[in-house]
Amino acid sequence: MRIGLFPGTFDPITLGHLDIIDRALPLFDKLYIGIGRNANKKPLFNEEDRLKWIRECYAHDNRIEALVYEGLTVDCCRKIGATFILRGIRYVNDFEYEKAIADMNRSIENGVESIFLTCSPQFTSVASTLVRDVFKNGGDVKQFIPPPVIKTLYPS
């Protein structure tokens, strides 16, 4: 069984994330979306909301499961039986950064491979950090986020 883990903070999950997930699905039998707890980052949105958003986005697909993990991504891979780590790439500098992490992960856990997918052109500038900044400053981010996030951030 081909099991993958797509790690990130997903603070919030964006249409760019969904683009990577949707295009990666044919590669896996099971794909976990892992919300990593990172001591260096202070998320704007709580874990419960982030999990709920992912689960609502993929309620129709039993191949996808969302979870929260702490510690090394490769340790999470071991726990869930994942042999692949999925990462999205927007720019060349993303690749350089992600390659260094992939090399380190492979050194720690030889049985885990990283797979990089470039984002579709329309999502190149969609980053959770930018979406958070726009939202915190009163801007409208609806065009960058999926309906479950819109429903929470802009209740009618």
Quick one: tokens of 109?
Answer: 């856990």
CA 117, CA 97: separation in Å to the nearest integer? Answer: 14
Say which of 2, 37, 41, 151 is annotated catalytic.
41
Q: What is the pTM of this model?
A: 0.95
Q: What is the pLDDT of residue 126?
A: 92
Reduced to 3 states, what is the DSSP secondary structure of residue 85? strand
Q: What is the pLDDT of residue 132?
A: 95
Parse the chain into domains and list their residue ranges.
3-153
Given a cut of 90, whether residue 147 has pLDDT beyond it is yes
**Residue 128 known to be catalytic:** yes
Q: What is the pLDDT of residue 41?
A: 78
Say which of 23, 30, 55, 90 is annotated catalytic.
90
**Residue 41 known to be catalytic:** yes
Instruction: Give the tens place of pLDDT for each residue, 36-61.
Output: 998 787 899 999 999 999 999 999 99
* CA distances, 87 to each of 12, 75, 94, 150 (Å): 16, 17, 10, 24
Chosen CATH of 3-153 out of 3.10.129.10, 3.40.50.620, 3.40.50.300, 3.30.200.20: 3.40.50.620
**Residue 90 known to be catalytic:** yes
**Residue 37 known to be catalytic:** no
